[in-house]
Amino acid sequence: MQTQKYIEDDKIIYEVDDFFVEKIRELPQRLAFYIAKQIDNSAEDLPKLNSWTQKVGGVYTKGYEPVYYEVEFLNEHGTVPLFVDVELIDSDDYLDYYIENLILNFNEDTSKAKGQEGVS
């Protein structure tokens, strides 16, 4: 499966799988843009785990009702994160991620992700 690369100042900060691109294109445009912006701002801070994908939760609160989602990624030591899937989830699943401190937390002032093992 081919991957697309995101390049900023000639430095690859993450890769995006074609399946991820297809899935994010199916989402409403504002939600997709919001998720992409969260990924841009948190990719370098995501936890690393060799040989296994991981998931983080997120919430979009700019609409009429909150929209909860999860992002699946592979982030091994010595490589850049590879985003492989995005799914809409319910509030209970989001709360599970929140309790585990595995949420994308985009704040325009701090632009940080929350999670385990080095994610601030």
Beta-carbon contacts of residue 8 (< 8 Å; ≥ 6 apart) = none
- Where exactly are the structural domains of the chain? 3-99
Give which of 35, 52, 40, 33 is closest to 13, Cα–Cα: 40
pTM across the whole model: 0.79
- Compare 111 and 14 and report the one with higher pLDDT: 14
Query: What token pair was written down for 21?
Result: 């691109």
Residue 72: what residue type? E
Mean pLDDT of 7-23: 82
Q: How confident is the model at residue 117 (pLDDT cuts 50, 70, 90)?
A: very low
pLDDT tens digits for range 78-112 = 999 999 999 999 999 999 999 999 998 755 443 34
Q: What is the CATH number assigned to the segment(s) 3-99?
A: 3.30.2310
pLDDT tens digits for range 17-73 = 999 999 999 999 999 999 999 998 889 889 999 999 999 999 999 988 999 999 999
